[in-house]
Amino acid sequence: MIARLKGLVEEKSNGNVIVDVQGVGYGVHVPETVFLRLPEVGGEVVLQIHTHVREDHITLYGFLTHLERDTFEILMSASGVGPKLALTILSALEAGQVIEAVSTGNKMLFNGISGVGKKNGGKALRGNPREVREAPAARARRRGCRRFAQGLRGIEYRCFHLLGKRPRASPPRPRL
Residues 73 and 50 placed together within one structural domain of the fold: no
Residues 57 and 25 placed together within one structural domain of the fold: yes
Residue pLDDT, tens place only, 21-54: 999 999 999 999 999 999 999 999 999 999 999 9
Residues 151 and 93 placed together within one structural domain of the fold: yes
Rounded to whole angstroms, the Cα distance separating 50 from 63 reads: 8
Residues 37 and 77 placed together within one structural domain of the fold: no
Q: Is residue 171 part of a domain?
A: no
Rounded to whole angstroms, the Cα distance separating 56 from 31 reads: 23
Q: What is the largest CA-CA distance in the chain?
A: 58
Mean pLDDT throughout 49-61? 94
Q: Is residue 39 part of a domain?
A: yes
Report the CATH number at residue 94: 1.10.150.20
Question: What percent of the chain clears pLDDT 70, i.e. is strictly above it?
Answer: 65
Residue pLDDT, tens place only, 87-138: 998 999 898 888 777 667 777 787 778 777 665 555 444 433 333 333 334 4
pLDDT value, residue 60: 97
